[in-house]
Amino acid sequence: MRLYVLAAALGLTLLIGMSRVYLGVHWPTDVLAGWCLGAAWALCCWALASWMHISERKEGGAR
């Protein structure tokens, strides 16, 4: 299920970005910058969640 949701999200992201260029409302560089910024934000959130999970395990569980 997780793989299906991830594939659907990535597919929609690509299709929406390409449609914005096709319709002429954004330049390709705008879409690429948005994708890069979104990926950077997702990686930061993932890193923070991972760090919080590790620090919670070191402390001995939930508070």
pTM for the whole structure: 0.74
Q: What percent of the chain has pLDDT over 70?
A: 94
Predicted confidence at residue 57, as pLDDT, reads 77
Predicted confidence at residue 42, as pLDDT, reads 95
30 within 8 A of 16, measured Cβ to Cβ: no
Containing structural domain, residue 33:
2-59
Mutual angle of helices 28-59 and 2-22, in 10-degree steps: 160
Predicted confidence at residue 28, as pLDDT, reads 97
Q: How many domains does the chain have?
A: 1
Task: Indicate the range of 21-25, 30-34, 51-55 predicted with least confidence.
Answer: 51-55
